[in-house]
Amino acid sequence: MLYFYSMNEKGFWIRLTFITLITIINSFNAGAQIQVDTSFSAEQLIKKLIGTQGIVIGNIKATGPHLGYGYFSEAESATGIESGIILSSGSIFNAFTANTLPYKSGYFSDPKAKRKPKGDKDLNRISHGTSGDAIVIEFDFIPLNNKIMFDYVFGSEEYPEYVGSRYNDVFAFIVTGEKVRRINIATIPGVNMPVSINTLNNKLSSHYYIDNDYFKNPALNKSIPINKKRKPVKKNKVSDFKISKSKKKKLNQEIVNNIQYDGLTGVMTASCYVVPYKKYHLKIAIGDVGDLAYDSGVLLASGSLISLKDPGQPKFKDYADLSEKLDFNSILAGKIIPDQQTHQDSLDDAEQDRFAITNINFANASSIIPDTSKDNLNELANYLNKNLEMRCELTGYTDNVGSKKYNQNLSEKRANAVMDYLIKKEIAWQRLKIAGFNFEDPIADNSAEQGRAANRRVEIVLFEK
């Protein structure tokens, strides 16, 4: 047996066994790793998020398994954020481990069960798909200034294999309140598109993207449409993948050794203008889309949620400091003024959860609506007939094959085809708005047929009159 000696706090030498010394060494090594803690309540987590500048919070609520949200620390070298809260579509303990697999999945329930974990209607709306394994933390807040902001990072195991597919895991920061009507502020700067697998990756908005993938030929365990006949990719064995040692050496080793996600964003900032001293609601949500496999997560920096005075706001008007005169507890305890709510809030929840908007995809060089999409359009028509206050925006797109003039015409034909179909289902044309944007704003890489098939689409957006 080996013995070592150390001086205790009273100045006496004490004998340590070799086993004790190893325990001490391991405790120091553990301290160098990212720490994860699920013992925090939702209220404790949101208090960690709030900074010192002008935010009052209340009415905090969390939805979803506690394993899907928690606190992390000692993460700056790997994520750009020292500490904060994480929401994940799988166990948060999967997020902060060495990246040894291209397809880590943490299920909140049996993935083979017929009844899937409930999704979220806002995530359905933003992703144009059906979400599951949703984790939501939401709360009311009162800003003392005209702009709010906070920092975050998004990462996913869906990168990069499922870019351009319907497996488009999504997260959102939904703000509702005075002059702000249910908007998602998790957007790409200057583009105003939601940050997601399909909109920010190694091809699109790539300057915000960090590659953490060094796997070759990983098994594609999901069906992805790759041609006009919508045939799926052949499935491989789950264990099928190889490692590129040369690619691994080029990656950021701090990220490789501490972050499981195959891709992630740099530190992003979410922000929006608000009316000072009014009550708002912030909903932070993340979920799987299309299936429940492969984890995604969003990290929010501690102390980064603040409000500040921004005179650069369009039509900015200065305002008085009322922070010492108002009873914030009374404001938070009151109900949201009806005209601050969207009517969508009062729609039947079951109907909202049932109806999920999806893109309508087209064959190459065609504006004929596929039979496989007509069921979706029939559901949309039924929804519009039941909810007469809702309007519909139809935006046509193409792949990049052919001239811009040709594709502009084709994109408009596709939007018109969907509009004509809805009119035949007794939807008044005044409720439909159409546009064509040729091959602008692709959601997938046009260099491969898989991506081009995803780009040949009409996007559907519902909005209130």
> What percent of the chain is modeled with pLDDT above 90?
49
- Structural domain ending residue among the three candidates 346, 373, 406: 346
Residues 331, 417: one domain? Answer: no
Angle between helices 371-386 and 404-424 (to 10 degrees): 60
What is the helix (H) or strand (E) element at residue 360, kind and residue range?
strand 360-361
pLDDT digits (tens, 9 = 90+) for 361-386: 999 999 999 998 898 899 899 989 88
Mean pLDDT in residue range 41-45: 95
- Whether 81 has a pLDDT exceeding 80, the answer reads yes
- The two tokens of residue 395 are 């935006």
Residues 398, 423: one domain? Answer: yes
Residues 122, 247: one domain? Answer: yes
- The two tokens of residue 208 are 């915000």
Residues 70, 183: one domain? Answer: yes
User: Is residue 352, in this structure, part of any structural domain at all?
Assistant: no
Residues 412, 326: one domain? Answer: no
The mean pLDDT of the chain is 81
**Residue from 81, 58, 55 nearest 147 by CA:** 55
> What percent of the chain is modeled with pLDDT above 70?
80
User: Is residue 351, in this structure, part of any structural domain at all?
Assistant: no
Q: What is the CATH number of the domain that holds 407?
A: 3.30.1330.60
**d(C-alpha 276, C-alpha 264), whole Å:** 34
State whether residue 307 is helix, strand or coil. strand
C-alpha Rg value of the chain to the nearest Å: 25
- The two tokens of residue 106 are 């943490």
**Residue from 325, 232, 340, 352 nearest 279 by CA:** 340
| Helix residue ranges, H only, 56-120 | 76-79
**d(C-alpha 170, C-alpha 130), whole Å:** 10
pLDDT of amino acid 405: 93
pLDDT digits (tens, 9 = 90+) for 138-196: 999 999 999 999 999 999 998 988 887 777 788 999 999 988 878 899 999 877 788 98
Mean pLDDT in residue range 68-91: 94
- Whether 22 has a pLDDT exceeding 60, the answer reads no
Mean pLDDT in residue range 277-281: 94
Mean pLDDT in residue range 60-69: 93
pLDDT band at 356 (very low <50, low <70, confident <90, very high): low
Residues 417, 301: one domain? Answer: no
User: CA dihedral in degrees (406, 412, 417, 419; nearest 10)?
Assistant: 180
**Residue from 158, 153, 154, 155 nearest 103 by CA:** 158
Q: The whole model's pTM is what?
A: 0.65
pLDDT of amino acid 116: 54
In contact, 254 and 140? CB cutoff 8 Å = no
User: Is residue 10, in this structure, part of any structural domain at all?
Assistant: yes
CB-based burial, 89-114: b 16+ in 10 Å, e otherwise: bbbbebbbbebebbbbbbbbeeeeee
pLDDT of amino acid 350: 37
- Whether 338 has a pLDDT exceeding 50, the answer reads no
Residues 316, 439: one domain? Answer: no
pLDDT band at 118 (very low <50, low <70, confident <90, very high): low
User: Positive or negative CA dihedral for 310, 313, 318, 322?
Assistant: negative
* Overall number of domains in the chain: 3
Residues 107, 121: one domain? Answer: yes
Residues 399, 276: one domain? Answer: no
Residues 370, 430: one domain? Answer: yes
User: Is residue 306, in this structure, part of any structural domain at all?
Assistant: yes
pLDDT of amino acid 372: 85
In contact, 214 and 247? CB cutoff 8 Å = yes
Cα atoms in the 13 Å half-sphere on the side-chain side of 104:
26
Residues 25, 135: one domain? Answer: no
Which residues, listed in sequence order, are joined to residue 392 by a DSSP beta bridge? 432, 462
- Whether 388 has a pLDDT exceeding 90, the answer reads no
Q: Which of 91-95, 232-236, 433-437 has the lowest mean pLDDT?
A: 232-236
- The two tokens of residue 1 are 């047996």
pLDDT digits (tens, 9 = 90+) for 392-414: 889 999 999 999 999 999 999 99
- The terminus-to-terminus CA distance of the chain in angstroms comes to 80
User: Is residue 167, in this structure, part of any structural domain at all?
Assistant: yes
- Structural domain ending residue among the three candidates 321, 346, 371: 346
User: Is residue 178, in this structure, part of any structural domain at all?
Assistant: yes
Mean pLDDT in residue range 225-229: 39
Residues 25, 55: one domain? Answer: no
User: Is residue 131, in this structure, part of any structural domain at all?
Assistant: yes
- Structural domain ending residue among the three candidates 302, 318, 346: 346
- Whether 121 has a pLDDT exceeding 70, the answer reads yes
User: Is residue 114, in this structure, part of any structural domain at all?
Assistant: yes
- Residue 175: give the domain boundaries: 34-346
pLDDT of amino acid 276: 95
- Assess whether the previous peptide bond of 160 is cis (omega < 30° from 0): yes
